[in-house]
Amino acid sequence: MALSIKLLRKLLPKRRQRLKRILQMTKKEAPACSFCGRTEEAVEKLISGPNSYICDKCVHLCLDIIEKKPVHHELKVLKPKELKIKLDAYVIGQEKAKKTIAVAVYNHYKRIRSLNKETQVEYSKSNVLLLGPTGSGKTLLASTLAKTLDVPFA
């Protein structure tokens, strides 16, 4: 009898662990959509994949997103003269720089617009480098331009 009690004490913890594992394996949660969380009863169809599910409603939503044609927002491009006038309101002097930047920005937006359309005309990329001593207005010009065009400036 003493032997059997010792044996039981040894086997009992192992049996408990095994029983817990068996319970966890048999206790499965009802399958639910991995995207919206709806259960199988709440949807018409639930498609299973490796480690995930997707319901018919989420499939239709995804199809709608895929089939939507991208919306092309028409860019409101200011003419170089209009842009220079806006820059004149904030930046004093630097006429040549303002004129050059206004034309460069106009050409940049023209180039971007032409990428969206299939045209025969090809616009080349150009860059502008602002050089000058401290306090000459380089940063002011760039930040004012960013505000005017409603683009971020870091």
Where does a domain end: 68, 95, 128?
68
Residue 139 lies in a domain: yes
Query: Is residue 4, in this structure, part of any structural domain at all?
Result: no
pLDDT over 50 (residue 1): no
- Show the tokens assigned to 134: 């401290």
Residue at 113 is within a domain: yes
Report the alpha-carbon angle 125-78-123, nearest 5: 20
- In a shared domain, residues 109 and 64: no
Q: Are 105 and 145 in contact (CB under 8 A)?
A: yes
CB 113 within 8 A of CB 75: yes
Q: pLDDT tens, 79-101?
A: 999 999 999 999 999 999 999 99
Please, which residues bridge with residue 46 across strands? 55
> Residue 82 has which token pair?
């209009």
Alpha carbon distance 104, 130 (integer Å): 12
Could you give phi then psi for residue 55, rounded to 5 degrees?
Answer: -90, 165
Judged against a pLDDT cut of 90, whether residue 145 lies above it is answered with yes
In a domain, 133, yes or no: yes
pLDDT score recorded for residue 70: 64
Q: What pLDDT is attached to residue 72?
A: 58
For the chain, the domain total comes to 2
User: What domain range is 86 assigned to?
Assistant: 80-149
Same domain assignment for residues 84 and 145: yes
Kindly state whether residue 19 falls inside one of the protein's structural domains: no
Write down the pTM of the prediction: 0.51
Does 20 have pLDDT greater than 50?
yes
Is 92 among the domain residues? Answer: yes
Q: What is the mean pLDDT of residues 43-71?
A: 85
Residue 143 lies inside a defined structural domain of this protein? yes
Query: How does pLDDT run across 23-55, given as a tens digit for each residue?
Result: 555 556 678 888 888 888 888 998 988 888 899
What average pLDDT does the chain have?
Answer: 81
60-69, 129-138, 145-154: range with lowest mean pLDDT: 60-69
90 shares its domain with 53: no
